[in-house]
Amino acid sequence: MDNYVIVTDSGTDFSDELVRECDVVRLELSILIEGEEPKPNNEVEPKKLYELLRAKKKATTSAISVGEFKDRMRGILDGGKDILYLGFSSGLSSTFHAGKLACEELSEEYPDRKLYAVDTLCASLGQGLLVYHAAKMRLGGASIEEVRDFAESNKLKLCHWFTVDDLFFLKRGGRVGAASAVLGTVLGIKPIMHVNNEGKLIKVSTVRGRKASIDALCEKAKASALDAKAKLIAFISHGDCEDDAKYLAEKIKKDVGFKDVIIGYVGSVIGSHSGPGTLALFYLGAER
C-alpha cells in the first residue's frame, strides 16, 4: 500500500477527519460568493455558506485546473509514489477531465510511474463512499490495479438519492422551471432525485411534504441496498439540516439494517448549487 497514493477532489465532500482516516490527498474546487475573490472549497465553512444562501447571496464555483493537478501530483511522483485519481463526476464538473489530462501528460514526464484516473460518475458523499471503500482496500494491502478495478466495477452500484427543501436552487440551476418551482413551493412538493449512470443529477419523482421526502429516501434504500455485508455502512450528507440527517440515519438503521452511518455536510461547492435543506443518502446497491 505504500507505493501509491489515492488522489481525489473536494467533490467527495470528505471532512478533514475522513481525509486523515483514509490517508488520501484531496484537491479543492473553488467557490466565489457575490463577486469576492475565489476561495478553495475547504476555506468556506459550509454552515456559513448556507447562511449566505438563505440570505439569497449568489455563489458560483470553478473546477480544478490541469496545472493545479500537475503541481500537486508532481510532488507525489517525485516522492517515488504512483497515483490513482478518483474524480468528481464528469457529468457535473470538468474537474475529472482536468485530472485525467494531468495524469496523461505526467505519464510522459514520469514513464516509470503508474498514473490511473477513474471517472467515478459520483458526487458528494457518494463519491466519498467509493473513495472510502477504495482507501480501505489500499490500507488493507490491495494493489493500485486492484483498487482501480474495484472503483471501475462498483461506481455504477453506488446509489445516490437526494431531496431538497427549497426549489429555488434547482430553478436557478435550470433543473426545474420557474412555474414548477413556484407551484411546488406553494404545495409543499419535494423532488426525489438521483445521480444516473451518466453521472448527472436527475429528478425521479415528487412527494408532498418534507417528512415524506425523507422517508422516500429510506424506501429507495429498502428496495435496492445489497446484502448484509454491503449494509455495513451508508453515508448521509446534508445542507445544514443535521436533525433531518439524524432522523434518516436512525430510520435506515432500523428499517434497512445498515450497521454504521456516517453523516457529513454537503460541502460548499456542491451546496452552492443544491442549497440549504439538501439531504442525500449513499450506499452500495445492485445498480443505481
Q: Where are the beta strands (DSSP E) in 82-147?
A: 82-87, 115-119
Instruction: Tell me: do 108 and 162 sit in the same domain.
Output: no
Radius of gyration for the alpha carbons in the chain, expressed in angstroms and rounded: 19
Which of 88, 119, 154 terminates a domain? The answer is 154
47 shares a domain with 105: yes
| Number of domain units in the chain | 2
On whether both 35 and 166 belong to a single domain, the answer is no
Same domain as 88, residue 224: no
pLDDT at 186: 45
- Show the domain range for 87: 4-154
> What are φ and ψ of residue 45, in 5° steps?
-65, 125
Q: Report the alpha-carbon distance of residue 272 to residue 29 in Å, rounded.
A: 12
Last residue of a domain, one of 124, 154, 184: 154
Q: What is the pLDDT of residues 47-90, one digit of tens each?
A: 999 999 999 898 999 999 999 999 999 999 999 999 999 999 99
Residue 287 DSSP SS3: coil
According to DSSP, the residues that pair with 206 across neighbouring strands are 191
How many CB atoms neighbour CB 79 within 10 A? Answer: 8
Compute the distance between CA of residue 65 and CA of residue 57 in angstroms, rounded to an integer. Answer: 26
The stretches in the chain having pLDDT less than 50 are 175-184, 186
Query: pTM of the prediction?
Result: 0.93
Q: Are the beta carbons of 158 and 180 closer than 8 angstroms?
A: no
Place of cell 468556506: 44
- Contact criterion met (CB below 8 Å) for 261 and 236: yes
pLDDT one-digit tens code per residue, 257-272: 999 999 999 999 999 9
Domain containing residue 47: CATH number = 3.40.50.10170
